[in-house]
Structure 1
Amino acid sequence: MKLTLTALALTAAVLCPPPAHAAKEVFAHVIVGNVPAFTLSDWTSDMELARAALIDGFVLNIAPQDPSTLPSVALAFEAAESLNFTLFFSFDYLAQGPWPADAVTALLQKHTPSPAYFKPNGKRPLVSTFEGPANAGDWPAIKAATDALFVPDWGSVVPAEAVGLAGGVADGLFTFDAWPEGDTNMTVDGDRAVQEALRGKEGGGGGVYMMPVAPWFFTNLPGFNKNWLWRGDELWDMRWAQVMEVQPDFVQILTWNDYGES
C-alpha cells in the first residue's frame, strides 16, 4: 500500500506540478562612494564574486557632490560590459543633498545605451533613488528625456502617498524597510502595503515592486550620531522565504559594501 500511495503521489506531482514562477532578477546595492580607489580589476573581481553568488547585477548608489562618482561609474560599466553583468543607477538624494535634474538626465543619457545597463524585458532602463520625494517634480521631464522606468525608494513617505507624487510619476517603488523593529520578527506587512498602494495607483495596472532583502544591521558611527543594532538572528533565511511568498518583480540586497552600516 505504501508503494502504491507513493507512486500515486509521484504521478500527481508530475501531472499537477506546483505553480511555477518566472525567474526574477536579484541585485546588490553598491555604495560607489565607498570604493573611490577601485581599479578596473577590482570592479571585475567584485562582479565575478557577485555572479558566483547568483546575483544578477549591481545597483550603483551615487551621490552628486562626490568627485569619484564619474570615474568610478565609467570603470564599473567597462567591467560590466566585459562580463555581461548588469547595472543600474540609484541616485542618492540624502547623503550629499539632492541631484540636479540636468545631471541625472545627462548621466542616464550617457550610460543607459550601454548593453550592461539593466532594461527589464529589453525595454526601458530601470532607475531608482535613495529618498528624494521632495524632488519628485523633476522626474516627469527626466523620464521624458530618458524613457526611464522609475522605481524610487521614497520610504520617508507612506506608500499610498509615494505613488501619487508628481502626478504618479513613479512606475513602481522600492523600500529600505528590510529589518524588523525591536524584538519582533520581520513580517511582510510593509511589502504588502507597497503592493497594495501600487495596485491602487491612478490609471490602474499596478506598478513594479522591488523588494529589499538584508541580513543584520548594526552601526556605531559617533560622527554621524549613529549607534544601534537591529535584530537579524534569522533574518537572512526568513527574508528569502518571504520573497517566495510575496513574489516581487525584483529583489535588491542591502547591501554589498556599506561597511559602516552592516
Structure 2
Amino acid sequence: MRFLAGWSVVAFAALASCAPSAPLSRRDCTSKGIFAHYMIGEIFDKHTKKDIQDAMDLGLDAFALNINSLKSWATDTVEHLFKNADDLGFKLFFSFDFGPDNFGDPSEVVDYLKPFLSRPSYYAHNGKQLVTTFGGEQFDDGKISQFKSNVGGNVLFIPGLYNGAASADIFSKNPSYDGVFGWNSWPSSFSGNVETTAETTDDAVWAQAISNSSGKLRIAGLSPINFKHYAGQNWYRRGEQNLEVRMAALLKDQPDMIEIQTWNDAPESHYIGNIWDEPNTGNTEAQGWYKGFDHTGYQQVIKAFAKAWHTCESAENMVPTNGKSIQGAFWHHVLTVGGDCGADPKGKPDPLPAEDSVSGVVLAAKGSAGLVAVVNNGEKELGKLTLTEGYNSFKFDNLGAGKVQLEVWDGSTMVGGGYSNQTVQTSSNICNYNFQVVGFPG
C-alpha cells in the first residue's frame, strides 16, 4: 500500500468527542470484531498457518486480506489462508486494494469474490459478509451499488478511505456504503509532534458521519507507526504518542470494529506479526530497515487489548495475560532525529515528526503495589514510573547513543524487564526510523 532536559510521562488520551451514547453490554462487545490487516504476497502454506495460529492466540477475530492482483502468487496464498482458516476455525475477509496501479474497478473482483462468501471461514458481521477496501474513493455510488448487487447483495461494504479530506456527510454522497474504515491512523506528517487523537486523525470526522446516519458502522484503525523509505517514497507518520495512547482511547471510544494496521506490512514498518522471507525476497532495499526489527514484542500488549475489547473493559483493567505480575513492550528509534545519515541518497523524510524518546506500556497485575519501571539508555536513566494496577503508558525523552533497557523493580528485587538488541546511534549509512520493539517478559 501507499502508503528537552528531563523526561515526561504521557498519560493515555480519551476521545471524548467520539464517546458512545450508551454503555455496551458484554454480549455486544463479544460480537465486536478486532482484525489485523494482512498483506497478500507469495507466502508459503506453513507460514499462513502459523500466522493464523498466532492471531488466534492473540484473540483476533479475522485477517483482512489486502489483495491487489489475481495472479497465481496472490491467489495461491489466499487459498492457503482459507484452507487453514477453515481447518482451524479462524475467519478471513477481503480488503481489495484500489490504490494506484492496483485494481481499477470493483467489477474486476466480482467473480473472484463470490465463491469465498460461502466459505465457513468468511467473516460475517450480524449475518452479512464483510468486504472492505484500501482506497476506492474514486468510484461513484452507482458503481458500488452495482458491485454489491453483482456479488449477491448480502454483503457489508465498508471501504478503507485514505485519500482526500474526511467528510461527515460521506453517506449522503455514498448511501451504498455500509460504513467507513478510516485508514489514516496517524496524524499527518505535516502536523508536527502531536499526540494521536480523534482530532489529529480522521476519527472525529468519521465518528460524526456515523452519528449523522442510522445503521452505519465504523472500523477504527490501530497502528504503531508508518515509515516508508524506498521506491521513490520517503515518509514518516508519527509513532510517538500513538499506540500507547490510542489503545486506551479506542477502548473508551468503542467504535464498531477495530483493525490493526498491520500484521505483516514490513515495507511500511507497521507490522505486529511474522515477517517471512518469501514475499520480500526481491525487496532488498526495504530489507535494510526492517531486517533485525522484529515487532512481535507488541503482542505482549495486543493480547490484553483484544481481551479488554471483547469484554468491554477499559484500559485500566488491561492486565497481564501471561500469569505474571507484569507484561509489556517498549519501542524506540535506533538513529537519533538529528543523527547523520548523509550517506543515504534518499535522505531523511521531510518533514520528520519523530522524537528521541522511548515509549511503551507496562501492564501490572491486580493487587500489585510498589512496582517501579525504570528506563535506562546507555549510562543514563531516562525516567521511572510508579506502576498502578492495569495499564501504564509512558514516553521518556532525551534518547541518545547506547542500548535501551526497561526493568521493573519491587523494592530491591527486579521482577522483570526487557533489553534492546540494537544500539541507538548518532550516525548511520541509512536513514532508518523504523522502531526497535522489545516485549517483556520474553
What's the C-alpha RMSD, in Å, of the aligned pairs? 1.9
Q: Alpha-carbon deviation of 1:105?
A: 1.7
**How many angstroms apart in 1 are the aligned matches of 2:100 and 2:122?**
24
**Structure with more helix by fraction:** 1
Q: Alpha-carbon deviation of 1:213?
A: 0.2
Q: Alpha-carbon deviation of 1:154?
A: 2.3
* Alignment match, 1:116: 121
After superposition, give the CA deviation of every residue in 1:101-133 in whole Å (9 maximum; x if it has no partner): 333221221101011100013x11001111112
Among 246, 252, 257, the alignment partner of 2:264 is: 257
Provide the aligned length of Structure 1 versus Structure 2.
Answer: 235
* Alignment match, 1:247: 254
* Alignment match, 1:4: none
**How many angstroms apart in 1 are the aligned matches of 2:172 and 2:104?**
21
Q: Alpha-carbon deviation of 1:99?
A: 4.1
* Alignment match, 2:203: 191
TM-score (ref. length: structure 1): 0.83
**Aligned residues with identical type, % of pairs:** 29
**1:149-228 superposed matches below 5 A:** 149-157=156-164, 158-166=166-174, 168-181=175-188, 182-189=192-199, 190-201=202-213, 205-221=214-230, 223=231, 225-228=232-235
* Alignment match, 1:3: none
**Structure with more strand by fraction:** 2
Matched letter for residue 220 of structure 2:
M
Among 32, 35, 54, the alignment partner of 1:27 is: 35
Could you tell me whether the CA contact under 8 Å between 2:171 and 2:177 is conserved in 1?
A: yes
Matched letter for residue 206 of structure 2:
V
After superposition, give the CA deviation of every residue in 1:192-223 in whole Å (9 maximum; x if it has no partner): 2102112323xxx14110000011221211x2
Could you tell me whether the CA contact under 8 Å between 1:188 and 1:246 is conserved in 2?
A: no
After superposition, give the CA deviation of every residue in 1:219-243 in whole Å (9 maximum; x if it has no partner): 211x2x2222232134222111111
Residue 73, structure 1, aligned to residue 78, structure 2? yes
**How many angstroms apart in 1 are the aligned matches of 2:24 and 2:48?**
38
Matched letter for residue 254 of structure 2:
Q
**How many angstroms apart in 2 are the aligned matches of 1:82 and 1:194?**
36
Q: Alpha-carbon deviation of 1:144?
A: 1.7
* Aligned-partner SS, 2:118: coil
Change in 2 beyond 3 A, CA 1:210/1:50: same
**How many angstroms apart in 1 are the aligned matches of 2:203 and 2:107?**
32
Name segments (4+ residues, structure 1) moved above 4 Å.
18-21
Identify the range of structure 1 (134-143 vs 245-254) with the bigger mean alpha-carbon deviation.
134-143
Q: Flag structure 1 segments of 5+ consecutive residues without an equivalent.
A: 1-17
Identify the range of structure 1 (170-179 vs 234-243) with the bigger mean alpha-carbon deviation.
234-243
Among 142, 150, 157, the alignment partner of 2:147 is: 142
Matched letter for residue 226 of structure 2:
F
Identify the range of structure 1 (178-187 vs 123-132) with the bigger mean alpha-carbon deviation.
178-187
**How many angstroms apart in 2 are the aligned matches of 1:164 and 1:66?**
36
Matched letter for residue 63 of structure 1:
N
* Alignment match, 1:55: 60
> Which structure would you say has the larger Rg?
2
Residue 236, structure 1, aligned to residue 243, structure 2? yes
* Alignment match, 1:88: 93
* Aligned-partner SS, 2:147: helix
* Alignment match, 2:130: 126
Could you tell me whether the CA contact under 8 Å between 2:194 and 2:241 is conserved in 1?
A: no
**How many angstroms apart in 2 are the aligned matches of 1:95 and 1:135?**
13
Change in 2 beyond 3 A, CA 1:197/1:45: same
Q: Alpha-carbon deviation of 1:159?
A: 2.7
